[in-house]
Structure 1
Amino acid sequence: MPRKRPLNAMVTPSAKRERKAITLDIKLEVLRRFEVGEKLSQIAKTLGLAVSTVATIRDNKEKIKASSQIATPLRASRLTRHRSAIMETMERLLRVWLEDQSQRNVPVSVAVIQEKAKSLFDDLQREQGESSQTEKFSASKGWFVRFKERHCLPHFKTNLTAAGNKDIYPEILKSIIQEGEYTPQQVFNVDETGLYWKRMPEGTFLSVEEKAEPGFKSCRERLMLLLGGNAAGDFKLKPLLVYHSENPKALKGYSKPNLPVIWRSNKKAWATRSIFHEWFTYFFCPAVEKYCAQNNLTNKALLILDSAPCHPVNLSDLSDNVRVEYLHDSTADLIQPMGQGVASAFKAHYLRRTFEHILEATDGEDTAIIREFWRNYNIMDAVDNIAVAWEELRPATMNSVWKKIWPECVQFQSVSQTDNIAQLRQNIVTLAQNVALGEVLGAAVDQLLCSHEEDLSNEELMQLEQQPAREEDSDDAAPVLRQLTTTELSAALSHFEAGLQVLTSGSPGDEWTLQVSRAVSDAITCYRELHSEKERRSKQQLS
């Protein structure tokens, strides 16, 4: 007997549930996000897709990319007018440029985007020759609307007047600090900055000759550093370095966990949310815990970040001891401590150290020897010089940059105690003269130091598009890890932990026991990091 419908049930015509159409450009956006390190669940949430749908798109990567080669335009349901190869390339490079702006938290306007698009198109057209000169492109508002739709672009950050918020935020921060009872030793800030690790000032023969070399690619000499420390200025965090290659030949024979930087890779040398998430969990939180223990402080910290896309919004949920606060977009550039002189002082130290390195290795007289040394100067040399430059940065500089956001914590009142950029510049000019590199002016040094934060040029964007790695930066090198398995490392660390537990349980609080425990913990830190590195690699291989 058929079941009767309840009286209050709504009668609706039977219909199949409408399926959401997934256009080709959305599929390509999913694949792009995978390539820059975003997690499956995050991509699904951002684009409003089911996790299973995102996984299916990932699994069909090759078919989708093959389809994209013949689809014109991406979202079209019917054929429209033909889009030239120059237009396709220009939009692809413009998308990379926009992502770079977003990475560095730089606001852009529609007018700026249109200007960059026109500039890219003109340069690409000149590169193609006379055969492409007939096509016209004005970067109109109509084109921008279609470009934004084709690439699923979000609303752009625009330049805002931030004076009011700049004045208000120190009071907001003050109340947070008072509420959490944080000391200057427990308040931290970190920020990303770019570094062209093998760039010489204009006027040196090295700069001239290197640019003239066939296949020279300045984008290959670009890396990203995450620099930071506490407001007291007495604790600088180990720099995070993101390079375009995971295993360059220069690192062969080195154990990455023992490098003076935290080594990570991304093909465009960008930080990603997954890289930052890992840094926060496995490096920042343990470093804070260790620092607090060494200084008899409560294990807690306040981390201040800008709202760059690579900074996950849920970091506070990952630690019971670290609170994370985000600066408003309109105030970050004006008051963020690491942006008030730390990065510029570091880069001046790095350039000076590089010249010192050349002088030590060559005596600075024979141009042929200098030329040979510079030809062999590799990313491992740069890592060593980065470590020296970061170490040379004075505590007073690290403390003084907090004066706009937390003036009460600034203890070093004498300017003579901070890093003097003008003096560093003069030192660099003098060293350049001693090395006989040619006439180097202070203005050229200033221009070089500023160039690290400049936008990617059209030439560099084209180089990124081509992407062939030079021989010394090849990823063909075998992973540089010690021959210990993850299981062996895990077992060894468990034995250490068990032994320390025996020592501390017999006499908890005993000063001598605590010193021994800390010494042992410090000694095996490299093995903990090696274990984390191997686990990370294992997860990457499975995903």
Structure 2
Amino acid sequence: MFTNCPSVSSASGVKKKRTRIPLKMKLKIIAQRERGKPVTAIARELGLHPSTISSIFKDKKRIRDAAKSLASVKSTVIRKKRAGPIGDMERLLVTWMNDQIQKHKPLSLSTIQAMARSFFNTLKENSDDPTYTQVFTASPGWFQRFKRRNNFNNVKISGEAASANTEGAAAFKEELNRIIVDEKYLPEQIFNVDETCLFWKRMPEHTYIHQESKTMPGFKTYKDRVTLLLGGNVAGFKLKPLLIYHSENPRALKNVSKQTLPVHYRHNRKAWMTLALFADWYLNCFIPEAREYCWENNIPFRILLILDNAPGHPRHIGNMHPYVKVVYLPPSITALIQPMDQGVISTFKAYYLRQMFAQAVGATESGRTLRDFWNGFNILDAIRNIVAAWKGVTQKCMNGVWKKVMKAYGNKGFNKNSTVDNIVRNKILVLGNQLELDIDEEDIHELVDIEAEELSNEDLIELEEERRKEAVAVKEEVIAEPPKTFTTKTLAEALAAISSGVRMLEEMDVNYERFTKTDRQLQDALACYREIYNNMNKE
């Protein structure tokens, strides 16, 4: 959308046409001015006259109304095209395919068609409209259109494993490097996190303990799992793990305050990551932890967070904090380059199994049987082992997994396979032999690499419904929220409060050099707000 500007006469009498500025650029100009960027800087960057920038900013209400109107029209058109069970089915299928791609699972045309029909039939059965009679066959023609609509053209669909898009990986690596260089991010400011499933009480498949667990009445303990969110930064710092369990108050934690646990403990019925839980972790766990880390290391609190497109990751998360930039990995390359998937999670799981086996050996040496130890092993024991295993993941490992996604960083001496093989062969297998378990390296690798069961149709429908409700809530919040604006009074109060705080620091700090350095940095950072205040006073 362009706005026609009237022509302007030059000194020579020849009329010059003003620059036609796209709506998107106008919105960008407004956003930059609201963040305090000077008019002259914006004008210089975009090659426009400063008066043009000022005019656009003064007209921001009409421009934003026009943008909302245009977005509403586009949204209505899209909804009309893909309404009812067909549209819902395609959204579920996108979620399922992204999940398969991230897990590097095989994707074939017949499998996708079967899932599409299954989703459609489930949605049709649950439809509120009993007269809905549309038939869906998932034809090859439909699939080609579906691929184009949802940008799956670079994903290999065949009878083989879905191949990671190496060209896409290279392109993303270039773009990520550009962001890091242009915005001057330090290794300490670049983070990645990823979820993993941990069957915290499962023993190797062929052991008698595992076979007994399958016949136990009630909840089968070999299926009991937690979801963990693990991550850290390029410099090797590790975040406190987030643990999601199916029970809010398990018996083993009856007399334990969850605030004192060495993990962030959350729960829901399926022990999986949801949009609400991720947003809660982001605001109440990640932000405070990253801020404290930056403060302790005397670096600016500016964070670049790299995430994949997992169903439980809110798409609007990047708008929730002004000093955290979120970059999403393209679905087709996640398995190839996501840092935590390049050795951190598999190393952690190997350490966890070693920890449990070592405890079992200790129990048998003190006179208990392996069966007694296993029956008494509870979720609190698992949490302690999770923390010990996470502590065992070295800085070399945390640093080395970044080499596939970043140009300048990553320990090239780290090797994922040899690290895990060493733990399996020299630690876990030795302990397993002490326990007289008939296991080999392959049995242990299967347990380390085991993943959660596939999401059912009902699970995906529930997750998609949650995402839909969240999107509606976010939209309503944006509409209801009044536009932010500066006033001379509130600006003056804010600047005065900051000055008061600086004076308090000066009175307490015996190190004059440290104070003056901090004061200078603060004054430089506040210069943009002082400029806004001075301009408003002039007006």
TM-score (ref. length: structure 1): 0.58
- Please give the alpha-carbon distance, in whole angstroms, between the structure 2 residues aligned to 1:416 and 1:104: 21
Alpha carbons 1:102, 1:308 under 8 Å: kept: no
1:450 equivalent to 2:452? Answer: no
Change (3 A) 1:199 1:417: closer
Which of the numbers 281, 291, 302 marks the counterpart of 1:279?
A: 281
Aligned to 2:524: none
User: What is the aligned partner in structure 1 of residue 232 from structure 2?
Assistant: 229
The one of 214, 228, 234 equivalent to 1:211 is: 214
Q: Output aligned runs, 1:392-407, within 5 Å.
A: 392-407=392-407
The answer for the alignment partner of 2:387 in structure 1 is 387
Residue 341 in 1 paired to residue 340 in 2?
A: no
Q: Would you say 1:261 and 2:260 are equivalent positions? A: no
In the alignment, the residues of structure 1 paired with residue 362 and residue 290 of structure 2 have an alpha-carbon distance, to the nearest angstrom, of: 36
Cα distance in 2 for residues equivalent to 1:184 and 1:417 = 21
Superposed CA deviations along residues 194-244 of structure 1, whole A, max 9, x for unmatched, are: 1111110123221111112233535751211111000111x1000111111
Q: Which residue of the partner structure matches residue 408 of structure 2?
A: 408
The answer to whether residue 187 in structure 2 is matched with residue 184 in structure 1 is yes
Q: 1:296 to 1:434 in 2, by over 3 A?
A: same
- 1:251 has 2:250 as partner: no
Instruction: Say if 2:343 and 2:416, in contact at 8 Å, map to a contact too.
Output: no
Deviation for aligned residue 1:371: 0.7
Could you say if the C-alpha distance between residues 314 and 379 of structure 1 is closer, same or farther in structure 2, counting changes exceeding 3 Å?
same
- Aligned pair partner of 2:311 in 306, 309, 312: 309
What is the CA distance between 1:501 and its match in structure 2?
7.0
**Which deviates more from structure 2 when the two are superposed, residues 354-363 or residues 418-427?**
418-427
Equivalences for residues 43-192 of structure 1 within 5 A: 98=96, 101=99, 111-113=110-112, 142=136, 159-160=155-156, 162-192=165-195
Q: Which amino acid in structure 2 is aligned with residue 440 of structure 1?
A: I
Amino acid of the residue matched to residue 433 of structure 1?
Answer: N
AA in 1 matched with 2:194: D
Label 1:210 to 1:167 Cα distance change in 2 as closer, same or farther (>3 A). Answer: same
Residue number in structure 2 paired with 1:294: 296
2:310 counterpart SS class: coil
Whether the 8 Å CA contact 1:335–1:404 is kept in 2: the answer is yes
Segment drifting more, 310-319 vs 280-289: 310-319
Shift of 1:415: 4.0
1:432 is the counterpart of 2:435: no
Aligned to 2:12: none
SS in 1 for 2:305: strand
Runs of 5+ consecutive residues of structure 1 not aligned to the other structure: 1-44, 50-73, 76-90, 121-140, 149-153, 462-499, 516-543
Secondary structure of 1:507's counterpart equals helix
Matches within 5 A, 1:23-62: none
Equivalent residues of 2:346, 2:448 under 8 A apart: yes
Change (3 A) 1:112 1:504: farther
Structure with larger Rg? 2
Shift of 1:106: 6.6
- In 2 relative to 1, CA 204–401 (structure 1 residues): closer, same or farther, beyond 3 Å? same
For 1:383 and 1:166, the matched residues in 2 are separated by: 35
How far apart in 1 are the matches of 2:183 and 2:502?
A: 34
The alpha-carbon deviation at position 504 of structure 1 amounts to 4.7
Contact in 1 for aligned 2:203/2:222 (Cα 8 Å): no
Q: Which structure would you say has the larger RCO, counting Cα contacts within 8 Å and 6 or more residues apart? A: 1
Instruction: Name the counterpart of 1:359.
Output: 361
Give the Cα separation in 2 of the matches to 1:227 and 1:286: 16
Letter in 1 for 2:243: L
Does residue 1:196 correspond to 2:195, yes or no? no
1:374–1:393 Cα change, 3 Å: same
User: 2:408 is paired with a residue of what secondary structure?
Assistant: helix
Is the Cα–Cα contact under 8 Å of residues 238 and 260 in structure 1 kept in the other structure?
Answer: yes
- How far 1:332 moved relative to its partner? 1.3
Q: In angstroms, what is the RMSD of aligned CA positions? A: 4.0
Give yes or no for the alignment of 1:422 onto 2:421: yes
How far is the alpha carbon of 1:413 from its aligned partner? Answer: 4.0
Give me the whole-angstrom Cα distance separating, in 2, the residues matched to 1:390 and 1:420.
15
CA deviation map 1:153-205 (0-9, x unaligned): x9796844512111111111111001211111110000111111111012322
Pair 1:168–1:245, CA change in 2 (3 A): same
CA displacement at 1:112 relative to structure 2: 2.1
Contact preservation (8 Å) 1:394, 1:417:
no
- Using the alignment, how far apart are the partners of 1:102 and 1:356 within structure 2? 35
The amino acid across from 1:339 in the alignment is: D
Amino acid at match of 2:409: C
Tell me the CA shift for residue 248 of structure 1: 1.1
CA distance in 2, matches of 1:110, 1:365: 57
Q: How does 1:504-515 map to 2 (within 5 A)?
A: 504-505=504-505, 507=507, 509-510=509-510
- CA distance in 2 between counterparts of 1:100 and 1:319 reads 26
* Whole-Å separation in 1 of the counterparts to 2:406 and 2:298: 23
Q: Aligned partner of 1:388: which letter?
A: A
CA 276–450 in structure 1, closer or farther in 2 if over 3 Å, else same: same
Q: 1-side partners of 2:138 and 2:416: how far apart?
A: 50
**Residues 276 and 109 of structure 1: is their aligned pair in 2 closer, same or farther, counting only changes over 3 Å?**
farther
Shift of 1:114: 5.8
Contact 1:103-1:270 at 8 Å conserved across structures: no
Deviation, structure 1 residue 507: 2.6
2:444 maps to 1:441: no
Task: Tell whether the 8 Å contact from 2:227 to 2:273 is kept in structure 1 after alignment.
Answer: yes
- 5+ long unaligned stretches in structure 2: 1-71, 77-83, 120-134, 143-148, 157-163, 460-499, 516-539
Q: Which amino acid aligns with 2:340?
A: M
What is the number of equivalent residue pairs in this alignment? 357
- Superposed displacement of residue 505, structure 1: 3.9
Rounded to whole Å, the distance in 1 between the matches of 2:501 and 2:378 is 44
The 1-side partners of 2:316 and 2:508 are apart by 35
- In structure 2, the partner of 1:30 is none
Supply the distance in 2 between the matched residues of 1:103 and 1:115 (Cα, whole angstroms). 17
For 2:352 and 2:300, locate their aligned partners in 1 and report how far apart those are by CA, in whole Å: 35
What amino acid sits opposite 2:339 in the alignment? P
The CA distance in 2 between the partners of 1:379 and 1:176, in whole Å, is: 42
- C-alpha distance in structure 2 between counterparts of 1:99 and 1:327, whole Å: 15
Distance in 1, Cα, partners of 2:417 & 2:109: 40
CA distance, structure 2, for counterparts of residue 297 and residue 435 of structure 1:
49
CA distance in 2 between counterparts of 1:417 and 1:272 reads 29
Give how far 1:266 is off: 1.7
- Indicate if the aligned counterparts of 1:345 and 1:419 stay in contact, CA closer than 8 A: no
| Secondary structure class of the residue paired with 2:217 | coil
